[in-house]
């Protein structure tokens, strides 16, 4: 993905540390890698959108499926 996402200059690649990510398929992760948009979070009507297929605690905004987005 580096060739397509970074070459477009729309994203930057980074590492997020000091987290706990639980998965049914492996150990608890303490970090993850991400592509971050240089234009901000995906939003609808000025509010961030969460991806409905990913569970999380304490969300403040609405979640949408890939099809809804």
Specify the long-range contacts of residues 11-14, CB closer than 8 Å, at least 24 apart. Answer: 11/35, 11/36, 11/37, 11/38, 12/36, 12/38
Instruction: Pick left, alpha or beta for residue 60 (phi over 0 → left; psi -120 to 50 → alpha; otherwise beta).
Output: alpha
Question: Domain coordinates of the chain in residue numbers?
Answer: 1-38, 40-69
The pLDDT profile of the chain, 69 residues, written as one tens digit per residue, is 788 888 888 899 999 999 999 988 999 999 999 999 998 888 888 888 988 888 888 888 888 998 988
Length of the chain: 69
At 18 the pLDDT is 96
At 58 the pLDDT is 83
Instruction: Pick left, alpha or beta for residue 39 (phi over 0 → left; psi -120 to 50 → alpha; otherwise beta).
Output: alpha
The answer to whether 19 and 33 have CB atoms below 8 angstroms apart is no
């Amino acid at each position: 993905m580096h060739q397509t996402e970074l070459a477009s200059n729309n994203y930057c690649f980074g590492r997020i540390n000091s987290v706990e990510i639980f998965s049914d398929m492996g150990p608890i992760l303490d970090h993850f890698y991400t592509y971050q948009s240089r234009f901000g979070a995906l939003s609808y009507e000025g509010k961030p959108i969460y991806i409905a297929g990913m569970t999380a605690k304490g969300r403040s905004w609405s979640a949408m499926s890939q099809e809804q987005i």
